[in-house]
Amino acid sequence: MGSLTSQVCEWLEQGYITSAQADQLYHRLSVRPDASRWRALIAGLLLWFGALSLVCGVIFFFAYNWQSLDRFAKFALLETAILLAVSAFVWLYYRAACQLSIASNTPSVTVSRSQGKPFGTTVANAVLLAACVLVGGLLALVGQTYQTGADPWQLFAVWALVILPLAWIAGFDALWLLVVGLVNLSLGLFFDISADFWLPFEDVQIQLLVFALLNTLIYYVFTYLDHIKVGRWHTPILQYACSMFAMGCFTWLVSWLILNIDRSDSFYLWVSGIYILNLVLGFYVFYYLLPQIYPLALGGFSLIAVTAIFLIKLIFEDSDPIGGFLFIGLYILLASTGLSLWLKKVNQNLKFASGAQVVASHGKRGGNHE
């Protein structure tokens, strides 16, 4: 932050920017949350935890009173809870839409980005998330009551399929995270019984490859959608989770193949090629097209880990272990330091570019005003 401050001071001294632009640039580059933002964050967290706690209480109520309630009472209570949650969501949605229309027609009221989304109301999102969790409880109740004989993976797959339209319409982060989590969970449970379907998913390495490819695809899809339509597909938590899970699966798989090359060479080459292609594609996309620090950091540290495993495989088979530990530790230290310095430089360049855009836009507004 010191280099940013000195650069802004240099621009101000050389006359490239005015003092007002410098103040605006400082606020743009160093945003510090005030008391109202902290209260909003705490209120949002309490709302989400309260909604999830209420849903868990409903589910635990059925689990505790399973023998006391008859079949119709169970379905009636759970369906009534879902109906009330959906009705509350519809009411909150229309109330937010009415407030948005009134604010947009009032010249003195500035509509923020969060207010511009009809489904951006936090209370409505929390109620909809609670309704989606209750849908899963209803599906489990159907399976337990009528003994359908379905496998566990089918429950989570149907659950994800049922709430997918709601996630598509609402489009907020937590609900998409629930859908993707259910898809991964159902896929993992399906792998346990994949031998019954005559599918080659009983091998752990193939399962890791499938998980890595699936979550990488989900990550790129949501990143692209967020880029072409800003705000509608803004799901940072989902993107962080999918990218971390996918890169973790890739790193684990490639490291395991390096240490235990007992499979055919074709499979090893295919996995290595896919891993390198993912790193190259990620570097091109997130360094040149859509500059972001987080995916670059994930790819860089994953490459350091895989390279360290490869060096361990080479050194510890033919050399002294003591010298090998020293060399590997030195490599990890130097590579991590170099990557951190490079990421810091990239982050500074991104902030400078953002600050230059703010100054340029402010200058255009001033010229138009004059």
Give ∠ CA 162-166-171 in degrees, rounded to 5.
135
Q: Is the pLDDT of residue 97 over 80?
A: no
What is the spatial distance between Cα 119 and Cα 173, in angstroms, rounded to a whole number?
Answer: 11
Q: What's the pLDDT at 233?
A: 84
78-96 confidence digits (pLDDT tens): 999 999 998 988 888 788 7
DSSP single-letter state for residue 150: -
Q: What is the pLDDT of residue 115?
A: 40
Question: 15-24, 89-98, 155-164, 353-362: which has the highest mean pLDDT?
Answer: 155-164
Residue 351 has pLDDT above 90, yes or no: no
Backbone angles phi, psi at 203, to 5 degrees: -85, 135
Domain residue ranges of the chain, discontinuous segments joined by +: 1-31, 44-202, 204-370
Distance in angstroms (rounded) separating the CA atoms of residues 123 and 54: 14
Residue 181's pLDDT band, with cuts at 50, 70 and 90, is very high
pLDDT, tens only, 282-335: 999 999 988 899 999 999 999 999 999 998 888 877 666 677 788 888 999 999
DSSP state, 197?
G
Residues 45 and 174 sit within 8 Å (Cβ to Cβ)? no
Query: Do residues 328 and 363 lie in contact, with contact meaning Cβ atoms separated by under 8 Å?
Result: no
How open is the CA angle 51-36-177, to the nearest 5 degrees?
Answer: 35
pLDDT digits 0-9 by tens, 105-131: 654 443 343 443 433 457 888 899 999
Judged against a pLDDT cut of 90, whether residue 342 lies above it is answered with yes
Give the pLDDT mean for 22-32.
Answer: 65
C-beta separation of 235 from 229 below 8 A: no
- How many whole angstroms from its chain centre is CA 252? 20
Q: Which of 243, 222, 242 minimizes the C-alpha distance to 232?
A: 222
**152 residue type, one letter:** P
Give backbone dihedrals phi and psi of 43, rounded to 5 degrees, phi first.
-65, -40
- Position 347: which residue type? N
Residue (of 104, 68, 209) closest to 200 by Cα position: 209
Statement: residue 98 has pLDDT above 90: no
pLDDT, residue 354, reads 61
Report how far residue 166's alpha carbon sits from residue 289's, in angstroms, rounded to the nearest whole number: 31
Sign of CA dihedral 234, 248, 52, 38: negative
pLDDT at 50: 87
pLDDT tens readout for residues 140-163: 888 888 877 668 889 999 999 999
Is the pLDDT assigned to residue 194 strictly greater than 80? Answer: no
pLDDT in tens, 240-261: 999 999 999 999 999 988 888 7
Residue 327: both structure tokens together: 């060399």
Nearest residue to 122 (alpha-carbon basis) of 55, 182, 174: 174
Q: What is the pTM of this model?
A: 0.80
